Structure 1
Amino acid sequence: MSAEPKAATRDEPMNMLELAPEFFERFFAFFRPGHQEGIVPSRIKELARIKIASINECDT
């Protein structure tokens, strides 16, 4: 018999917007203009974000 605790499981993902709505409101107010405006198209910015996450071994 193993004494190791089992990992908790969830059937549904957590809705972080419900848990911290004020944080996400401020985050999106900061993030959207930089993502949607400027010379570089949003698609290229998103691809760069995904590549950076991959390089840093970050699951997004």
Structure 2
Amino acid sequence: MSWKNTQQSSLANALVIEHKSLSELDDVHNIINWNEIGQTSQVYTRQHMVHQLTHH
């Protein structure tokens, strides 16, 4: 039977530095409705494309 020492970090874990700045905007990210932003972006992109086609 094999076993793994769970106290020993892997190389990948050792290379990742957990810093407060990496998560400080997580709360903001969680309250943003990204689906609505994506839909709004598509509307403006379509409007821009129509404008380009009709004015050139």
The two structures have a TM-score, normalised by structure 2, of: 0.32
Using CA pairs under 8 Å that are at least 6 residues apart, name the structure with larger relative contact order, 1 or 2. 1
The two structures have a TM-score, normalised by structure 1, of: 0.30
